[in-house]
């Protein structure tokens, strides 16, 4: 096996690296064996494996399956899949799962997202560290004898999602969908087929080289084609998916992006209509409009740190019906507490299709404040810069602080900002929210002047 530094590819929530340099078939085979020993020791006998459209994905998935079957466990190969389809397989079959994808990363990357039965995530503290340690020490040979069987899941996945959102009475909608040459090109026709939606496809061809733009809708540059197409087609809205189609971004009829916080608010209100008084999770850099809306509709907002492991853990502890993040990850109790951008998209289609007005009018209820988006600054000493900011704001009357995840500063005028360190790079990440764009810009510039001094 090639000499591999696993510390470079085993991340907080998944495994990810450059294929042929950091990630090799031989390493992946060992990871498969290590996972099999981990979950086999907990009683699992089968592992579901899916993969995205990257050229390297089928071969890596096959190597992983060899590692699993070599330990005596069976594999259900679900073939091409979005990440939330792999979660569907892990949920409906009640088996652990492995999804081969590097999400929105460039073509040279690949990776593995792992979960236990019922789509329970496997992260650094819940198995990934043990898997890394086992591979570093050398995974003992297993008894062999495991089998591989193919099972297509896309039809069942599409049917299940449509069963969670009532779309029967919606008006016809024209929808432009930018799949970014990722897995949305595979799943969208299945999920939206048969609905009263005229789908205008952009970049549905599965191509892991991403010939048109990166499959990362969080970067505004990657939304430009969708924005233009929505206006040109006179569409009701646009949807953009990332490479593994677990995140969904929304553009209104004017071609204007809708903030993920506003989508979180909309879906939260819809879920509370089905489960009055329920808890709704939001991370600490979503808009303060989200907890306001949750309270106004009789729900209980619960604030968490950034990161899906915190969201899912808190959902389990509180019984929350829904959770949303600023990064357009949306988590549903009735989808095994896992995230599904497609399910969030169905909620938006249902909400829009139930009313006569345009999406911009509908979302006006949920867009209450202005936000900066995430701004990264490279700094030599993260703690020093955060302390400097805290010192300046600490001298101001009426200012309060929160240390749940980095430093959150609340001003008496209602504006707030969060400054938190990256776990993997010498970066400070800043998010600002205030009453209007001018107030956001002023607060942003004041904080950055200190951070970048």
Instruction: Judge residue 150's burial from the number of C-beta atoms within 10 Å of its C-beta, 0-12 exposed, 13-18 middle, 19 or more buried.
Output: exposed
Give the contacts of 289 (CB within 8 A, at least 6 positions apart). 261, 262, 265, 366, 367, 368, 369
DSSP letters of 349-418?
HHHHHTSSS-HHHHHTTT--SEE---EEEE-S-HHHHHHHHHHHHHTSTT-EEE-SSSEEEE-TTS-EEE
Structure tokens at 58: 């089928």
Q: Residues 56, 57, 82, 103: which is the catalytic one?
A: 103
Taking the C-alpha atoms of residue 312 and residue 189, their distance in angstroms, rounded to an integer, is 29
Place of tokens 């490479």: 243
103 is catalytic: yes
Is residue 253 a contact partner of residue 237, using CB atoms and an 8 Å limit?
A: yes
Angle at 116 (CA atoms; ends 115, 118), nearest 5 degrees: 105
Alpha-carbon torsion angle 69, 74, 78, 81, nearest 10: -60
Write phi, then psi, for 319 (nearest 5 degrees): 70, 20
Residues with a known catalytic role: 103
């Amino acid at each position: 096996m090639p000499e591999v530094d696993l510390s470079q590819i085993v991340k907080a929530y998944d495994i990810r690296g450059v294929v042929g340099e950091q990630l090799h078939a031989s390493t992946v085979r060992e990871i498969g064996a290590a996972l099999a020993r981990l979950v086999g020791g907990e009683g699992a006998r089968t592992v579901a494996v899916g993969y995205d459209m990257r050229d390297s994905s089928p071969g890596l998935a096959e190597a992983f399956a060899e590692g699993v079957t070599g330990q005596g466990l069976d594999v259900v190969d679900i073939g091409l899949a979005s990440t939330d389809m792999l979660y569907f397989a892990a949920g409906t079959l009640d088996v652990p799962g492995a999804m081969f994808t590097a999400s929105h990363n460039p073509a040279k990357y690949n990776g593995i997202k792992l979960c236990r039965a019922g789509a329970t995530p496997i992260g650094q503290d819940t198995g990934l560290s043990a898997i890394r340690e086992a591979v570093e020490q050398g995974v003992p040979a297993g008894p062999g004898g495991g089998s591989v069987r193919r099972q297509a899941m896309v039809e069942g996945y599409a049917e299940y999602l449509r069963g969670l959102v009532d779309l029967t009475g919606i008006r016809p909608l024209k929808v432009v969908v930018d799949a970014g040459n990722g897995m949305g090109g595979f799943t969208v026709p299945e999920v939206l087929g048969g609905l009263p939606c005229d789908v205008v496809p952009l970049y549905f061809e599965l191509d892991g080289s991403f010939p048109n733009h990166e499959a990362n809708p969080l970067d505004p540059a990657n939304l430009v084609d969708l924005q233009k197409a929505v206006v040109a087609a006179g569409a009701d809205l646009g949807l953009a998916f990332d490479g593994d189609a677990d995140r969904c971004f929304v553009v209104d009829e004017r071609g204007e992006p809708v903030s993920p916080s506003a989508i979180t608010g909309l879906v939260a209100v819809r879920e509370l209509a089905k489960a009055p008084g329920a808890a709704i999770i939001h991370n600490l850099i979503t808009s303060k409009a989200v907890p306001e809306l949750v309270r106004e509709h009789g729900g209980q907002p619960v604030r968490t740190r950034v990161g899906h492991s915190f969201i899912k853990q808190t959902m389990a502890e509180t019984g929350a019906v829904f959770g949303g993040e600023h990064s357009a990850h949306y988590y549903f109790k009735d989808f095994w507490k896992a995230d599904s951008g497609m399910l969030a998209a169905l909620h938006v289609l249902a909400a829009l299709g139930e009313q006569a007005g345009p999406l911009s009018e509908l979302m006006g209820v949920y867009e209450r404040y202005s936000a900066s988006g995430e701004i990264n600054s490279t700094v030599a000493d993260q703690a020093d810069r955060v302390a400097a900011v805290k010192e300046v704001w600490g001298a101001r009357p009426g200012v309060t602080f929160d240390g749940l995840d980095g430093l959150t500063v609340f001003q008496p005028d209602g504006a707030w900002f969060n400054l938190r360190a990256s776990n993997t790079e010498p970066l400070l990440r800043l998010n600002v929210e205030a009453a209007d764009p001018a107030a956001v810009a002023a607060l942003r510039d004041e904080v950055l002047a200190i951070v970048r001094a």
